[in-house]
Amino acid sequence: MKRQLIKGVALLSLAWGLVAGAVVPTLADTLDRIKERGKLVVGVKSDYKPWGFIDAAGNLAGMEIDMAHDVAQRLGVKLELIPVQTANRIEFLQQGKIDLIIATMSDNPKRRETVGIIEPLYYAGGTNALLRKGAGISSWQDVRGKKLCGTQGAYYNKRVAELYGAEIIAFAGNPEAMNALLGGNCIGFVQDSTFIGSTLASGDAKWADYEMTLPTEDEQGWGIAVPLAELNGPYGDFMRKMVTDWHRSGKLIDIERKWGIKPSPFLQTMNKMYR
Amino acid sequence: METVWEWFRWLDKAHGIDLSVFYDAGDRHRFLMGFLTTILLSMTCLVSSLAIGFIGAWAQQSRFRPARLAVGAFIQFFRNTPPLVQLYFFYFAIGGMLPKLADASGMASPMFGSFFWAAVSLSLFGGAFNIEIFRAGIEAVPRATIEAAESLGFSKGQIFRLVAFPLALRFSLRALNNNMVNLVKTTSLAYAIGVPELLYVSAQIWSDQLNTREMMTLLLFSYVGLVGAMVWGMHRLERALRMPGYGQ
């Protein structure tokens, strides 16, 4: 019994060592690797219409997918898209499963310690909530003690819970959270203002009884990301140039219009700044 | 105590091992609540799955054919579908169809929340296996023992309750133990419908702190501890109920 226990402890410590000491694969020169392989692998959203979603034909489509295509084209390589979740995209990049994140990711200091967020940022959105009409919520203070659906891994869950005392029920993806909202499991869905805006603007009859009445808060820029080690290397430089060009040429504004997204003031400002 | 917490903050700063649940009071509270939810959900599911196992095994012995058929159908349904799919089915399909009640603010809300549906779904899932485990135990009860009870004038119900089931329970303990371990681990699936259990809170914490590696490891060890404690208890029970001549 005792020997078994010692053996068990030894095994567990070994497991711990493996996990804790696991070396992140060397990701130096991703740019060379991409060109050599002839393929760029980008992590994109598949449940964030119209930034990244699955269209009627079953293909990934949307504003961010167009951006990914543009990067691949500029590099002269093929494009592979991998659908990612908010909660796993950073690990995918760290593990080298994807080369680039273009997945509605907000910029924040904690994330900057982990992945190489490219500046300039390419978009901006804030926190808001898709609310059931008649829920009696007219200010953020009114959500105290109320149930709000959310998406796991979203940075604003903690903020809304701590600042306004809402009870957040977070689901694996947007469709589950929206289904739970439609099923009456919560009075609202905490999300990015851009996403809610486009959901409401889609004209889908399901959302006729829902509204976005709260002021958008805590505006955050969205950044594409490369592995941290390469932020200041050739790969990071290439992506920085890419985003700057997008802003200068007004390409992002064009793509935004193409997908019927309400024009974002952020893109207008950036376009003026770089032109 | 504060010194211990501070040591973990130092560990993060000095070695980049970020166990925020130890030095950050907010994360600690979240993690603790997640742990309690897992324990509560496990307890609820264990107790009700045992009850389902008992009732099911009893109904399987019944002379009433529809009861036997119903138990068979129940087992096939819940044993042959993935527990995650069952959770989604109960929460989104069944939960969405039930009549809604008005809550405090007058809004129509579902009668039951995610914890309730997780408990129902996992209990039925575990229960389906328990019925088969008990059945195997009942079939292992020596025929002669049942005949002896019959000759003493026990009714069929009495034989089941007083003779067959207690012996069967003893025979079933090992297999039951396995299934209970499985059930406790399966509670982690409840994260998919937003039950704030261990996996759910850990996912929230690693999304905020980006300490995925540390949280995954801590999560693994939390389950080792939880399941280990339960298995230890079950082994004590096995020893206490040991019957010489009937195996260990």
What is the mean pLDDT of the segment spanning A69-98? 94
pLDDT recorded at residue A27: 45
Single-letter residue type at A46: S
Interface check for B224 against chain A (CB to CB < 8 A): the answer is: yes
Angle at B235 between CA B232 and CA B240, to 5 degrees: 130
Chain B: nearest CA to A189, how far in angstroms?
13
Q: What is the pLDDT of residues A212-251, one digit of tens each?
A: 999 999 889 999 999 999 999 999 999 999 999 999 999 9
**Percentage of chain A surpassing pLDDT 70?**
90
User: Which 3 state secondary structure label does DSSP give A72?
Assistant: helix
With CA atoms as reference, report the closest residue to A267 among A111, A124, A162, A164.
Answer: A124
pLDDT recorded at residue A238: 95
Question: 3-state secondary structure string, A73-113?
Answer: HHHCCEEEEEECCCCCHHHHHHHCCCCEECCCCECCHHHHC
Query: Which residue do the tokens 């990701």 mark?
Result: A27
Query: Do the Cβ atoms of A135 and B107 come within 8 Å?
Result: yes
B56 membership: H or E segment, kind and range: helix B25-60
Residue of B nearest to A170 (CA): B194
Whether B20 has a pLDDT exceeding 60, the answer reads yes
Which of A6-10, B106-110, B169-173 has the weakest average pLDDT?
A6-10
Calpha distance A266→A20 (Å, rounded):
41
pLDDT recorded at residue A110: 87
Interface check for A110 against chain B (CB to CB < 8 A): the answer is: yes
Whether A84 has a pLDDT exceeding 50, the answer reads yes
Calpha distance A59→A43 (Å, rounded):
14
Whether A15 has a pLDDT exceeding 70, the answer reads no
Whether B248 has a pLDDT exceeding 60, the answer reads no
Residues in chain B with CB shorter than 8 Å from the CB of A187 are 105, 107
CA–centroid distance for A164 within its chain? 23
Query: Do the Cβ atoms of A185 and B209 come within 8 Å?
Result: no
**Percentage of chain B surpassing pLDDT 70?**
97
Chain A to chain B Cβ contacts (< 8 Å): 84
Q: What is the pLDDT of residues A106-139, one digit of tens each?
A: 998 889 999 999 999 999 989 999 999 988 899 9
Which residues, including other chains, have CB under 8 Å from residue A72's CB and lie 6 or more apart? A40, A42, A78, A79
Which of A4-8, A46-50, A126-130, B108-112 has the weakest average pLDDT?
A4-8
Residue of A nearest to B93 (CA): A183
Query: Which residue do the tokens 């299934």 mark?
Result: B179
Which of A16, A90, A136 comes nearest B105 by C-beta?
A: A136
Longest dimension (CA), chain B: 76
Query: Do the Cβ atoms of B207 and A155 come within 8 Å?
Result: yes
Query: Is B241 or A243 the better-scoring residue by pLDDT?
Result: A243
Residues in chain A with CB shorter than 8 Å from the CB of B117 are none
Query: Do the Cβ atoms of B204 and A157 come within 8 Å?
Result: yes
pLDDT recorded at residue A23: 46
Interface check for A179 against chain B (CB to CB < 8 A): the answer is: yes
Whether A3 has a pLDDT exceeding 90, the answer reads no
Interface check for B216 against chain A (CB to CB < 8 A): the answer is: yes
Interface check for A142 against chain B (CB to CB < 8 A): the answer is: no
Q: What is the pLDDT of residues B30-85, one digit of tens each?
A: 999 999 999 999 999 999 999 999 999 989 888 899 999 999 999 999 999 999 99
Chain B: nearest CA to A273, how far in angstroms?
32
pLDDT recorded at residue B12: 86
The secondary structure of residue A261, as a DSSP letter, is P
Interface check for A104 against chain B (CB to CB < 8 A): the answer is: no
What is the mean pLDDT of the segment spanning A19-43? 75
> Per-residue confidence at A4, pLDDT binned at 50, 70, 90?
low
| Chain mean pLDDT for chain B | 90
Take residue B61 and report the two structure tokens written for it.
Answer: 């012995």
Whether A14 has a pLDDT exceeding 70, the answer reads no
**Burial group, residue B144, by CB count within 10 angstroms (0-12, 13-18, 19+):** exposed
CB A64 within 8 A of CB A259: no
Q: Are strands A78-83 and A115-117 parallel, antiparallel or unpaired?
A: unpaired
Calpha distance A157→A167 (Å, rounded):
9
Residues in chain B with CB shorter than 8 Å from the CB of A12 are 221, 224
What is the mean pLDDT of the segment spanning A61-90? 95
What is the C-alpha R_g of chain B? 23
What number of other Cβ atoms are within 10 A of residue A219's Cβ?
14
Interface check for B104 against chain A (CB to CB < 8 A): the answer is: no
Whether A25 has a pLDDT exceeding 50, the answer reads no
Calpha distance B172→B63 (Å, rounded):
23
- Report CA torsion sign: B62, B65, B68, B70: negative
Query: Do the Cβ atoms of A152 and B109 come within 8 Å?
Result: no
Which of A90, A154, A170 comes nearest B194 by C-beta?
A: A170
What is the mean pLDDT of the segment spanning A37-53? 94
Helix A265-274 vs helix A234-249: crossing angle, to nearest 10:
100
Interface check for A86 against chain B (CB to CB < 8 A): the answer is: yes
Which of B204, B214, B221 comes nearest A152 by C-beta?
A: B204
Calpha distance A257→A269 (Å, rounded):
16
What is the mean pLDDT of the segment spanning B6-16? 86
With CA atoms as reference, report the closest residue to A103 among A199, A223, A248.
Answer: A223
**Percentage of chain A surpassing pLDDT 90?**
71
Whether A204 has a pLDDT exceeding 80, the answer reads yes
Backbone angles phi, psi at A175, to 5 degrees: -60, -40
Query: Do the Cβ atoms of B207 and A153 come within 8 Å?
Result: yes
CB A128 within 8 A of CB A63: no
What is the mean pLDDT of the segment spanning B210-238? 93
pLDDT recorded at residue A188: 95
C-alpha distances (whole Å) from A147 to each of A131, A185, A215, B6, B178 are 11, 8, 19, 34, 37
Q: What is the pLDDT of residues B76-117, one digit of tens each?
A: 999 999 999 999 999 999 988 888 887 666 677 788 889 999
Q: What is the pLDDT of residues B195-208, one digit of tens each?
A: 999 999 999 898 88
Residues in chain B with CB shorter than 8 Å from the CB of A111 are 210
For B108, how many CA atoms within 13 A lie in the half-sphere containing its CB? 12
